[in-house]
Structure 1
């Protein structure tokens, strides 16, 4: 392995099935392209199947032997999540890798189809429900992993407030995003603990891309877009680099249950992937368990661990 972990360090993925949400663009797409090039059967689980087909075609152009399929998935709808999970469980009795990558950031106040605050509902509850309904097809598989993509934003205004979990009393787009991202981490740590207790060979890990040049900034107000794009362009790294922490968390044989990966540069904003840590509240076991219980009730999804 090289001193700086790169895509060249991804082991052979032949015979493995990887499902990646939000993988028609950004770091999800870049991760999908690498995994497909290494031999995995990659499923692009995306809201817009036409865009998924275009992404799959681009991957096949780069890697003519790639096996890539598309599954429609709208994380703002529990009905869509249920339908997608049903289809994937049938099509793929063996799932080696689930990467919960899709996300929305700093959206105006809005709700999912089930009435959840959009960012919390999409980024956390949607992936919680999706994972819970696919987990049985991962649990028997040696070396299987669930990787959930979080963000450095969890450190800023990300505290879980059970009295206003859906931001109904007060909405701030940055706070809502940060809350969804710390929820991703709490979900990972609680899932990791449950998987270990169950004796399953599956592990749960998390990653964050630092500042990466993707479409996540598209929801900033129009009057800020120009300034945001300039600043983001100066500090961000490419989507290819941003995908590396996800790829390492997903494939590095040395990764352990419950670990978190991000860039190795200053402030974890840029660079090659290394093991990192998250803030203190994300490790609060009591809050993790309470969030898990609330998430089960809100989504009506329970886990087999």
Structure 2
């Protein structure tokens, strides 16, 4: 599918699934902006993309999701945007920093990007969650941060109509496939498919969720039913209001 003339921002695009999202979007002819803290890693990622996609239109945006006060300036460096893929995430021992990076940073970034996205013909916010985010168990700080990110995507769809807000998850994605995990899981390139489809597919609607079609673990993307904690509108509203209180901004 061609996306010539469009501009997409992918957070955490220098490695992992984010890299493959950026590479696959670059193959559509779009301009792809790699949001990353490290210019060195972003340069390496862009060189790799250009080796796979000759003539790829890629560039770097200095972006630190853990530094909420820096995000307004980062967003101000862009003059147009058709979609942002909120992909970046960390898994670390510091629960507060993990929640800030995985959820609050994207909450703030989308707030500052909203004027550009609303001005686009079909502006989209694509939020990448995880399987663990579907049902949070006590003490799982990583799952809590990813669930908050997913609930944000659903609540954004309910609170505004200026842009399309789509949630996705990569299923079970490994850096390298080994038996017997390969029977159920897939590589990072395949894990990028739901996010890429969420950016490009004109038939996907705001508030929907995409994930791999085989048990939610592997395969081509499909629309998934939103169930359980992710369907709890009161919980999503509470996460939203708490995020507004913590950051002082509101994406809608």
TM-score, structure 2 normalization: 0.93
Of 73, 77, 90 in structure 2, the residue corresponding to residue 104 of structure 1 is 90
Q: 1:246 to 1:52 in 2, by over 3 A?
A: same
Aligned residue number for residue 151 of structure 1: 130
Q: Distance in 2 between matches of 1:274 and 1:76?
A: 32
1:296 correspondence with 2:248: no
After superposition, the CA RMSD in angstroms is 1.9
Query: Moved runs in structure 1, 4+ residues, more than 3 A?
Result: 229-235
Q: 1:158 to 1:126 in 2, by over 3 A?
A: farther
SS for the counterpart of 1:181 is helix
8 A contact 2:83–2:124 mirrored in 1: yes
Output aligned runs, 1:262-301, within 5 Å: 262-266=211-215, 268-301=216-249
Q: Distance in 1 between matches of 2:188 and 2:23?
A: 12
Q: Distance in 2 between matches of 1:265 and 1:301?
A: 38
Output aligned runs, 1:59-78, within 5 Å: 59-78=49-68
Q: Distance in 2 between matches of 1:297 and 1:135?
A: 19
More off after superposition, 77-86 vs 250-259 = 77-86
C-alpha displacement of 1:83? 2.7
Q: Distance in 2 between matches of 1:193 and 1:41?
A: 29
Give structure 1 stretches of 5+ with no counterpart: 1-10, 112-116, 160-171, 216-228
More off after superposition, 144-153 vs 290-299 = 290-299
Q: Distance in 2 between matches of 1:204 and 1:249?
A: 9
Of 139, 149, 153 in structure 2, the residue corresponding to residue 184 of structure 1 is 149
8 A contact 2:134–2:229 mirrored in 1: no
C-alpha displacement of 1:189? 1.1
C-alpha displacement of 1:230? 7.7
Q: 1:261 to 1:158 in 2, by over 3 A?
A: farther
Q: Distance in 1 between matches of 2:247 and 2:136?
A: 25
SS for the counterpart of 1:286 is helix
Output aligned runs, 1:1-305, within 5 Å: 11-88=1-78, 92=79, 94-105=80-91, 107-108=92-93, 110=94, 117-157=96-136, 172=139, 175-196=140-161, 200=162, 202-214=163-175, 235-266=184-215, 268-303=216-251, 305=252
Q: Distance in 2 between matches of 1:231 and 1:100?
A: 31
8 A contact 2:135–2:228 mirrored in 1: no
Query: What's the CA shift string for 1:153-205, capped at 9, x where partnerless?
Result: 0233258xxxxxxxxxxxx3xx1111112212211111111223xxx2x2000
Q: Distance in 1 between matches of 2:7 and 2:244?
A: 26
C-alpha displacement of 1:278? 3.4
Q: Distance in 2 between matches of 1:301 and 1:207?
A: 24
8 A contact 2:135–2:229 mirrored in 1: no
Q: Distance in 1 between matches of 2:152 and 2:203?
A: 22
SS for the counterpart of 1:138 is helix
Q: Distance in 2 between matches of 1:232 and 1:144?
A: 37
The structure whose Rg is larger is 1
